[in-house]
Chains A and B, each alone.
Chain A
Amino acid sequence: MKIIILIKQVPAVHEIRINRTLGTVQREGFDAMINPDDEHALELGLSLKEKFGGEVYAVSMGPPQAEGALRECLAMGVDYAVLLSHHRFAMSDTLQTTFVLERAIRKLEPFDIVITGSKTLDSGTGHIPVQLSEALAIPLISQIYKMEIKNGFFIGERTYGHEYQSIKVKLPIIIRVDRGFNEVRFIPLLGIKQAFEKKIEIWNFDTFECPDEIDGCEKSPTKLLEVIDEKIIRKNVEIIGTNDEKAQKILDFIKKVHIQKIKSPLDLE
């Protein structure tokens, strides 16, 4: 079985800084890590390999330093790592990213399963798996909580709104996993030793003869206009009295906040 896992390097949680001029996440000089959702994709890919055999590829698009994240994938047990890196890929929005990923995945054909996380920590659109499914014209399977692979089919169960669905789909497919799906293994020391003896493939604009439509800077239809910090102001209030008095005070407070809301300029009244 050939499994392709898409991963992204993101800034370590405590290190996120926004470049206000470009409206992008600043990556230079900060600690980085594998996007947490993608670790669950890696875990699924590796456990499928352990069960069914085959090869696991980790593919990432990003600047040269994203090699670090791929190195960790290799340490976890991935067989091959491919970095998609070129200045024409920089500043790509999710559509441009999809175009590049699609080409990279096609270059790895025939494959059985592509696995992605649900969203990235630093941009969080969740577009990629959906768009890739469309671009590659293969089904996207998401929200699964149970699965197996049998005779070239994916057989599994997933939540779907208020329902549980049992589904059977012919491979190849894209699987999108969430954080709760599995427990991610720790990186073994032997894996770290071996990861630095493996080669990371670098594919650029010319590797798969990209058409002119690929140009992250110039041809991304999504333009980020502004990035604002989310500010939550919390205040501690002490509520003293009997239980009835406390309840009344809380009720008064809720009413007061509610009244303020009605008076907001957005409200029709």
Chain B
Amino acid sequence: MNFELTEQQKVVRTSVRKFAEEVLGPNAPIVDKEAKFSWETKKELEKINAWGISIPEKYGGSGLDSICNSIVIEELARVCASTALTVTVHNSVAAYPIYKFGTEYQKEKFLVELATGKKLGAFSLSEANAGSDVSATETIATQDGDEFVVNGSKIYVTNGGVADISLVGAKYVSENNDKGFAILIMEKDMLGYEIGEPEDKMGMRGSSTTALYFDGVRVPKENILGSLREGFKVAMHSLDAGRIGIAAQALGIAQAAFEMSADYSLHRVQFGRPISKFQGVSFKIAEIATKIENARFLTYRAAWLRDQGKSFTKEAAMCKYYASMIGREVCQEALQIYGGYGYSKDLPLERFYRDVKITEIYEGTNEIMKAIISRQVLQNL
């Protein structure tokens, strides 16, 4: 057992940290305040190949392992969670599923442009009446010769307003009246594909979240990801991978809150001594440091299992559930250490707190994570 990062993983961390601090740092409060997606940042991320982290070089990616992928997301989130979200969704649930399940045609046509960052990707499952319950999906794709005609809508689509390529979950009816759930690759310039107004969110305000409307969008049948019947499996496997990214994101936000509050506790003097000398504060520091370490091990282990080609459904759910939960707790405690200053918009702690909350909700709520974990644990008894 080896708990050390490899030299390569270490270089990924130092390089991305430097990039994040210098490029994202000055912009992070602005994109939050203005609720604006930054296209300049998107271009800068293209220069460091952040749009195809684990996609093989052959398809325009960097071919790094999943632990490197987690480190990249963690380091981006440590500075700007909105950017980390855009990047992780693009990588884990748009580019990766096409790589994992796509046909050679789909890889050539869509993956290369995604992995190089020429185009942005999204993944949409949630609907007004379907979120945790995928079987309640109402978007429907009806086969008409060589095409599927898609009608319906999606909500809360991360990257919805900026993505060129979206993976869309839909119920299908084939020509021989076969029914099931499929994932379709859709392009934003397809006729009848409409993007909704940006969502006015509590956090992650620098990322684009919109609804998508499909009014008779004609999708060629070559755009079915995997095979028709595989849709649910494709969706679930993609979400497993996506969850490691969300855990890494929560971890990065928690790390930032921890570093700030620990540093503050050493310098804030009350009653004639730094507040770190009071156990009320130093124990908080101990608790949050331990929680972060714990979340990091869970996250990297899930990523490691994925790299080994082993099953990681349970571990992905565990790290997502745990890292997001402690992420919220860490931000809350870090803000408390800062007292009134933490509540001010002059400092990023309140942003961390708003940003981290969603990690308990999206890519499967933590309640769904617990359902997955318990099912996995109990069935193996």
Residues on A lying within 8 angstroms of B by beta carbon are 33, 68, 71-72, 75, 185-193, 195-196
Contact = CB atoms under 8 A, between A and B. Distances in A.
**Which among A186, A189, A191, A192 has the greatest number of chain B C-beta atoms within 10 A?**
A189
A187 B23 CA distance: 13
**Which among B11, B48, B50 has the greatest number of chain A C-beta atoms within 10 A?**
B11
Contact of B23 (A75, A186, A188): A186
Interface SS majority for chain B: helix
Nearest to B50: A189
B62 interface: yes
B49 A190 contact: yes
Given A68-B7, A75-B11, A192-B11, A186 B48 contact: yes
18 contacts: A33-B14, A71-B11, A72-B15, A75-B15, A186-B19, A186-B23, A187-B15, A187-B18, A189-B12, A189-B48, A189-B53, A189-B62, A190-B62, A192-B11, A192-B15, A193-B62, A193-B63, A193-B64
Interface in B189-220: none
A36 B62 CA distance: 26
Contacts of A71: 7, 11
Contacts, number: 59
Interface of B: 7-8, 11-12, 14-16, 18-19, 22-23, 47-50, 53, 57, 61-64, 68, 72
A6 to B, nearest CB: 21
Contacts of A192: 8, 11-12, 15, 62, 64, 68
Contacts of A195: 8, 11
Contacts of A196: 7-8
* List of 6 A-B pairs having minimum Cβ-Cβ separation, nearest first: A187-B15, A189-B62, A189-B49, A190-B62, A190-B49, A186-B19
A185 B18 CA distance: 11
Given A68-B7, A193-B57, A186 B62 contact: no
Contacts of A33: 14
A185 B64 contact: no
**Which among A188, A192, A195 has the greatest number of chain B C-beta atoms within 10 A?**
A192
Contacts of B49: 188-191
B47 A188 contact: yes
A72 B8 CA distance: 10
B47 A186 contact: yes
Given A192-B62, A193-B63, A193-B64, A186 B7 contact: no
Contacts of A72: 11, 15
B85 to A, nearest CB: 18
Nearest to A191: B49
A190 B12 contact: no
A193 B63 CA distance: 7
Given A75-B15, A193-B62, A193-B63, A188 B48 contact: yes
Given A71-B7, A190-B57, A185 B47 contact: yes
A43 B169 CA distance: 46
A109 to B, nearest CB: 31
A187 B48 contact: yes
Contacts of B23: 186
B6 to A, nearest CB: 8
